[in-house]
Amino acid sequence: MKKRSAPVDSRTSLAFLKGKKILVTGGTGSFGKHFIDVLLARSEAAKVIVFSRDELKQSEMAARLKDDRIRFFLGDVRDPKRLQRAFHGVDFVVHAAALKQVPALEYNPSEAILTNITGAENIINAALDQGVTRVVALSTDKAVNPINLYGATKLCAEKLFIAGNSYAGSSKTTFSVVRYGNVVGSRGSVIPLFLRKRKEGVLPLTDERMTRFWITLDQGVALVLQALATMHGGEIFVPKIASMKMVDLARAIAPECRLKFVGIRPGEKLHEVLLTEDESVRAKDAGGFFVIEPNFPWWGDGKWPAGSPLPADFRYSSETNDRWLTSEELHEMIGSIQPEEPVKS
C-alpha cells in the first residue's frame, strides 16, 4: 500500500528548540501529551512545562515521564495572574487548552466563552507582559463559518491571536494559529466510541452523507512544530489532510455492525471546511500545508515567498477533498487506540 504523505515533514529539525523553555497549555490532553513526548525525545529543550487544571492527570504523567527537564504547573487559562506566573522566563507557548465537546458547549455557552475566548485573551496578555517569543494556538475546522458555539469561540480565539501581533508593537512576541480537522483517537472523539460500541453490534451515526477531515496526532504535532519553526506572526497554518465519509469510517471499524442513524446533534455540520473562498484570496500553497496570511498592514508582502497563490474561488472542504482515506489507511492510523470506557453514573 502506498502511504499518504504527512502534511509536513515530521523529521523537521528541532535545533531551534535547543536551550529553550516551552510551555504547553492543556498539556495533559491528547495533543499535549503527544507533543511533550516528541519534545522530550527529539529536542534539546532546556525545560518543558505542562500547564493544566487536573492534578491527577499531571501526577499520572509525571509517573510515566522520567526526564528532569519537565515541570508541572497547576492552573487554569481563565486565571490571568496564574498565567503571568507560569509564563515567566518562557520562550515558546503552545496553547492547546480548550473546552471542545460540541453538544456540551451548546448547553453551557458561558463556560465555553470563559475558557476558549477569555482564556485566549489571557494567554495573549501574559505572553506580551512576560516577553514570550512565539505563541502557537490550536484551532479547528469548526471555526470556519461556525454554526456551533465551540466553532464560534475558536473563531474568536483565532482573531484574538492574529490581532495580538498588533499589540506586540516593537516587542519580540509573535502569535500564529494552527487550524486542523478531527484528530484520530483523541479523547472524546468518535473512533474510541465506535471501538467500544462494536461489542453491542450497533454503531450510532448522525447522517449517512456526513464527511470529516482526519489527522493523526503525529501529523498535528509535526504541523505545530513546523509553525513554531517558521512563523512570522499572524499566519494560520492549514494542513493538507485526508477526508472520509462517516459511514465508510464506521464500516471500516466494525463491518459486522448494524448502523443506526440517529440524526444530527445540536451544532453539527454535514461537512467541514478548513479554508474558504474568501480566505484563499490571501492564502498560499506552501507544499504540505496552506498558509493564510493576515489582512493587517504590519504583515507586508513576501513573507512566504516560496508559496504559490491558490486558484480563484478555491475552497478546501471535507466533501470535495481530493484525498480520501481507505479502510487500510484508517486502520494504520488507528494503531493502538483503545476503546473508550463507558461513563459511570
On the CB side of 280, CA atoms within 13 Å amount to 15
Q: What's the full length of the chain, in residues?
A: 345
| CA gap 311, 34 in Å, rounded | 35
Opening angle at CA 100, ends 153 and 87, nearest 5 = 75
Amino acid in position 202:
V
Whose grid coordinates read 484574538? 160
Amino acid in position 140:
T
Task: Find the helix or strand (DSSP H, E) in which 177 lies.
Answer: strand 174-180
Opening angle at CA 304, ends 302 and 308, nearest 5 = 100
Amino acid in position 155:
L
**Catalytic site residues?**
142
Burial class (CB in 10 A: 0-12, 13-18, 19+), 64: exposed
| CA gap 233, 172 in Å, rounded | 10
Q: Are strands 174-180 and 134-140 parallel, antiparallel or unpaired?
A: parallel
| CA gap 272, 147 in Å, rounded | 11
Whose grid coordinates read 471542545? 100
SS (H, E, C) 202-228: EEEECCCCCEEEEECHHHHHHHHHHHH
For the CA atoms of 210, 238, 177, 60, the dihedral, rounded to the nearest 10 degrees, stands at 70
